[in-house]
Structure 1
Amino acid sequence: MVSRITTASGEDHDPVKSLFRRRPAGLARVRLGYAAQVGDRAVAGEKVPGEKVRGRTGGGRGRRRLSVDERRDELIEAALQLFSTRSPEDISIDDVAAKAGASRALVYHYFGGKYELYIAALGSAAKKLSVLLEPPTEGKPLERLRISLKRYFDFVESHAAGYTALLRGGPADRSGEAGEIVDGIRQLLLDRILHSLDVDVPPPVLRITLRCWMATVETAGLDWLENRDVPRPDLERLLVDQLVVIMQVAGRHDPGTGALFDRLAQEEMGSS
């Protein structure tokens, strides 16, 4: 894992952020100053080179310039598409601007730089996933888990770029803000699973078992997006069955996990 470095002057240096900010300081100020001027013109509705207009192209009537939120969302979506296929270090602001059909100055205006855009893109994907992971309130534990897993794969399918960017689009060590976003989603997913299983505080063996299963779910999602040779419902059933099996094995090593497995088995048989 990459750690923060203290320089001779006593200042902290983040090696990950430095990957995104290898431009001369003077040039950066000039670019950002120009970006702010051009961005302000775009928000005010003035003509800006490279700025896209939504609506009819013939004449002025029916033309609508994107709002601030719409333009920001469009830039984030373009960034997610790129970050899901390549490392952020290999993507430039020009790439994002071209993907979104915008000027590079406008990208700088909204986000300040590539690192800020990367964090905003990850945060956007994480927020969408967290909404879908709201736990069901009805049904037996494994039934609630099946519903949650279906919602998870709804996100995988409908937000493929965001899902892929969250899991494989960033620096290998995932330190700093990017790591906090990804770790936060994983902790949220663990909390949702425990809620579905009616468990408040998991014993260590159960916690480890569930985190191992979560890694399996993440890998299955990426594999499904790449190959799509297993029907989604079949994959979701397979993953739930895998969890039941590994919980049964884990129960041999921990009485608390074993008791949970027995309870789940009884409830499943009672509902069949």
Structure 2
Amino acid sequence: MSEPYIRLSNVGKSYQTKNGVVEACSDINLDIRQSEFVAIVGPSGCGKTTIMKMVAGLQPYTAGSITIGGQRVDKPQTDVGIVFQEAIMLDWRDVLANVMLQIDIRKMDRKKYEPVARDLLKATGLAGFENKKPYELSGGMRQRVSICRALVHGPNMLMMDEPFGALDALTREQISMDIQHLWMETRKTALHITHSIPEAVLLADRVVVMGPRPGRIVEIIDIDLPRPRRLDRLPERFHEYSSRIRDIFKSKGVLAMD
């Protein structure tokens, strides 16, 4: 078997505060294969976002090691697209220019990548909005722009930190379908951080279930469901996976159902 693309070995992160040391997460062991879609689900404060930022090289880890493609992560990674919860856009740039910001910053060939940007906007339902300014867009449309911007330069990795958290339920469902469609076309190695159990089961090949802080991996669940997965045709196994994760959270005191 080949080596995993991303490997976290005994990774931990602690912070020094005025009240002492705080452990965000501890003993994280996780292998992610190339082109795999992995979701991390867990309660607030369990270190989900911290794990993503450490993999991206945006935060140093205080224990263990992280490698990508066999190379130790010790600085910010460039071969990655990141989508955060808040869709940050530059107000003075139109939609197309906001997507192309990634290309401008990296000093890549605009002529080569503008068609890529337009194709991504079309794939996410934003064809015809290329010249609109951010204030003319809904929250869901702004988040679609963020997704396009994360993918336009063709990174091997896509990382998403609660990208649907600020959206209404219907918009969340539609963008979930957009993400699945784009991932199936591009097969990026994807790491998705979420609080939502159904969202994790819907999108992921494997779901990493985290316990409360200091966050540790409680279980890793393989999601054996055919793709594309449709919200109007979810098999019984979808609900079984979701129930299993809820049962884990109940056993850890994260969910109180009584």
**Structures share fold, TM-score greater than 0.5:** no
Q: Scaled by the length of structure 2, what TM-score is found?
A: 0.29
Q: TM-score, normalised by structure 1?
A: 0.28
Determine which structure has the larger strand proportion and give its number: 2
The structure that has the greater radius of gyration is 1
Larger % of helix: which?
A: 1
